[in-house]
Amino acid sequence: MAKVLLKGNEAVVRAAIEAGCKYFFGYPITPQNEIPEYFSKELPKIGGAFVQGESEVASINMLYGAAAAGARAMTSSSSPGIALMQEGIGYISKAELPAVIVNMMRGGPGLGGIQPSQSDYHMCVKGGANGDYHNIVLAPGNVQELVDMVQEAFDIADQYGMLVIVLADGLIGQMMEPVELRKPKARPIEPKTWALTGPNGGKPHRIYNLKLQAPDLEQDNIDLFKKYEVIEKNETRYEDYMMDDAEFAFASYGTASRVVRTAVDKLRAEGYKIGLIRPQTLWPFPYEAFKRPNIKKYLDVELSMGQMIDDVAIACGDKNMIEFFGHTGGVLITVDEVCDFAKKIMGGAK
Amino acid sequence: MSVVFERSKGLVDVKTHYCPGCSHGIVHRILAESLEEMGLLDEAICMSPVGCAVLALDYFEFDGIQAAHGRAPATATGIKRVHPDKTVITYQGDGDLASIGMCEIIHAAARGEKITTIFINNGIYGMTGGQMAPTTLPGMKATTAQLGRDVSLNGYPIRVAELISTLDGAKYVERVAVCSPAEVNKAKAAIKKALEVQKAGLGFSFVEVLCACPTNWGKTPVDALDFVKNEMIPYYPLGVKKDTTKEGQ
């Protein structure tokens, strides 16, 4: 298929429809409004439905219903909206329903700002709802990867009965890049025999969220975490860049990692042995990627006050091996800033 | 021997967890009977709320899902948009629907979602232990209004059926009570009418059912029925609040 020039937010819609998503529920919030706007135009054409929810709270609960009904469905929002969705995220996670959320992150906390940020790492990767649960979190680094991940998110959600969050930011949402819609790899996906369709002459389908007996709820959570172990084993993903002979390694994802990648090229041209480890899944986190005996320091670069840094510390086992640089609140990092930061850490070590 | 009465095929043959004198059992039964008599059991999907009826899905022989507190109309919207040909019902109490879920019910009604809501109004939070509800009557005691609801502090009860009836998307709205056999029959007729409106694709339909909660009211089952009759009905008048079907025009 030929490449088309698409804005990140529009690309989400194209990719989702390509993946068979027919239902979208969402509430306006900057910087992701092109997603609901484009869906509202496209979904009626394919016999699906677009509903502008009265709130993010309602939208996520509509998604809970559509997922329970067996459909491929999604919502999208940006940081404060995702905060409002946490209740429904917990319910979908408890019911183990397949569903997809796209979060085009902006600065916080509170109402925050509307410029790109990566400060929802804690909320989305560690979980902002109550209880023991995980969501699969995919972190695209450009619009092509956003398209690939949105498409794949629906398959991953169906394969495991999981809520998949595509965690991008306002920059990726607003940026235009040439992209290609590609078929993701085939996955084993069971028919949704549990879906709410009415009994149709068979037994009633029942989807629970309450377990009143503590030992039963404990067992549910143990079973849930057995499933999570399989996902950790199968789905953990990261990308190495210039890591073969590296003595220093950047740790960065999403938009920040693009700036870092250019910084790596610049530093390499000056003779520095530095590379980039870019997590593509944030849960499951690629802990194995940070066990490298040759690395002297990990340089964590984020558009936040440093939220992924805890996972990098767990991964490499020594928080003294990590240095942090970032901007937050919607301020972007520059290549020169990243190079200066790295040089300070590396000193004369070429 | 001829059978003169039997359990609806829409009900599972188990004991319920409801207290003696609780009205949920009656409303479950007339909902199940209505669906059965209309031939809808095989296509029915019902939202269980947060509250005493959270386990309702275990008592119904049709599909069910436990919705988040107050969000049943949103969850039902998601299901109905995916399966427009199915019968989708929300079964909600007064804390669920009229307090935390007021936003969701108003907007589902305003959108004219083709779903049916059964609204259980007993003026109290049951499951959490008798706290004040948005529908608790003035002067009525609750565990969070121990001297009785003081309207100067706690505001006034909400007449939800009347509120819903002002919305253009709501096509059938009625308030009934289940405090006597005659009223139970009327309640069942209202539920059937509401389901017909959904099946005809006209829009949102809503039946408010005045119910007894003897446990949290501190009354015997019989006294609780008298309370519905003598105290609740005067504040919450029964009857059709809106009927946009041909028969209602």
Residue B247 has pLDDT above 90, yes or no: no
Q: Which of residues 187-206 of A touch B (CB under 8 A)?
A: 196-201, 204-206
- Residue A114 DSSP class: S
Facing A210 at nearest CB: one of B44, B54, B82: B54
Whether A62 has its CB under 8 Å from any CB of chain B: the answer is yes
Whether B60 has its CB under 8 Å from any CB of chain A: the answer is yes
Residues A82, A166: Cα–Cα separation, whole Å: 12
Is 0.80 topped by the overall pTM?
yes
Per the CB < 8 A criterion, the answer to whether A138 and A167 are in contact is: yes
Q: Tell me which chain B residues have a C-beta less than 8 angstroms from the C-beta of A23.
A: 78, 81-82
Q: Tell me which chain A residues have a C-beta less than 8 angstroms from the C-beta of B58.
A: 206
Q: Across the interface, do B68 and A61 touch by the CB < 8 Å criterion?
A: yes
Mean pLDDT of chain A: 97
**For A171-190, how does the pLDDT look when each residue is reduced to its tens digit (9 = 90+)?**
999 999 999 999 999 999 99
What domains sit in chain A, N to C, each tagged with a CATH number? Answer: 4-235 (3.40.50.970), 239-346 (3.40.50.920)
Facing B76 at nearest CB: one of A65, A208, A210: A65
Q: What token pair was written down for B99?
A: 């307090």
**For A103-121, how does the pLDDT look when each residue is reduced to its tens digit (9 = 90+)?**
999 999 999 999 999 999 9
Facing A58 at nearest CB: one of B54, B71, B79: B71
Q: Which of A191, A196, A15 is nearest to A100 (CA)?
A: A15
Whether B14 has its CB under 8 Å from any CB of chain A: the answer is no
Facing A198 at nearest CB: one of B45, B66, B67: B45
- Crossing angle for the helix pair B72-82 and A56-68, to the nearest 10 degrees: 50
The residues spanned by each domain of chain B are 24-248
Q: Across the interface, do B79 and A87 touch by the CB < 8 Å criterion?
A: no
Residue B249 has pLDDT above 80, yes or no: no
Q: Please give the ipTM for the structure prediction.
A: 0.98
Residue B1 has pLDDT above 80, yes or no: no
Task: Tell me the nearest-neighbour CA distance from A321 into chain B, angstroms.
Answer: 44
In sequence order, what are the residues at sequence separation of 6 or more whose Cβ sits closer than 8 angstroms to the Cβ of residue A24?
Answer: A16, A35, A36, A39, A40, A43, A48, A49, A50, A51, A73, A74, A75, A76
- Return the sign of the alpha-carbon dihedral for residues B94, B99, B101, B106: positive
Q: How many CB atoms lie within 10 A of CB A110?
A: 9
Q: In percent, how much of chain B has pLDDT > 90?
A: 97
Q: Across the interface, do B75 and A68 touch by the CB < 8 Å criterion?
A: yes
Residue A350 has pLDDT above 80, yes or no: no
What kind of architecture, by CATH, is found in domain B24-248? 3-Layer(aba) Sandwich (3.40)
